[in-house]
Amino acid sequence: MIEQTLFPVMEVAAIGGPDGVVDLLDETGYKFIVREDTGKVLSCMTNDYKLVENKQIIDTATPILKQHKAELKEAVSLGDGQKTIWKWIIPDVKMEVSKGDLMNPEIIIKNSYDGSMQVHILSGAFRLVCSNGMIIGNVIDNHNYRHNINSLNIDNLDESIERTIIQARKVAEEFPVLKDNKLKQKHIMELVKLFPSTMSEFITQYLVANKPKDYWDLFNCATYLTSHKMNRKYNTTHKIESQIYPSITRWAKS
């Protein structure tokens, strides 16, 4: 199953010049990402695009996932291979998302060769992974890495995978504390205070519209806000993300 997603790819110079003789990557500013096995052109990208091969990701992820006894459940490449999604479950950990409804935490990793997706690592409890790459469920943790030659974060891929799995296990173990305790209104205001004051009005409106009833709901609202409504390039965003889970867990236990 996983082998079909590990096809070889290569970078090919975008030829330029009046006589079609320019063959250096930096002459045109563009390059093609090509499947070596089929010759199919997957995309035309600028030279700032950093190629991260599926094989590199899987070679990094596999030993870590095996160590945590994760089981591969899905490996699919979309289109001609422009996008790839892998999904593992952690079978020895269960989360009761509602009474009698048990789910295993999942680890999902995504990659693309056409710039449509960053290298994306997330964990959570999900009902569906759609063919367009969208998910339905509760996100526990997530990390994104840009395909950019100046991005050094991709070098820390193994650390991010490890942290994501550990966070999934931790949240699963403490899930009843978050789900079984009724949310106190004062803690909604405490959450708002974690975010920049410029976002206070928007966050308040979002929380009113979504009406979190317990601390698990509050956690999901908070992670949505940081992952979808804040600039991922700012250190402030990542600082807030690091405060969300310990703060909400502490409130739930109080």
Q: How confident is the model at residue 6 (pLDDT cuts 50, 70, 90)?
A: very high
Residue scoring higher pLDDT (245 or 10): 10
Buried b (16+ CB within 10 A) or exposed e, 81-118: bbbbbbbbbbeebebebeeeeebbbbbbbbbbbbeebb
25 and 35 in contact (C-beta within 8 Å)?
no
pLDDT digits (tens, 9 = 90+) for 176-215: 788 888 999 999 999 999 999 999 999 999 999 999 999 9
Q: Which residues contact 93 (CB under 8 A, 6 or more apart)?
A: 104, 105, 168, 169, 172, 173
The pTM assigned to this predicted structure is 0.67
- Is 22's pLDDT higher than 90? no
- Per-residue pLDDT, 254: 87
3-class DSSP assignment, residue 244? helix
Cα–Cα distances in angstroms (integers) from residue 5 to residues 39, 58, 214, 248, in the given order: 16, 10, 40, 38
- Per-residue pLDDT, 124: 73
pLDDT digits (tens, 9 = 90+) for 88-139: 988 888 776 656 667 788 888 999 999 888 898 888 765 443 344 444 445 5
HEC secondary structure over 139-150 = EEEEEEECCCCC
User: Token digits for 126?
Assistant: 């999900």
- Among 164, 180, 181, 166, smallest CA distance to 223 is for 164
In one letter, which amino acid is 210? N
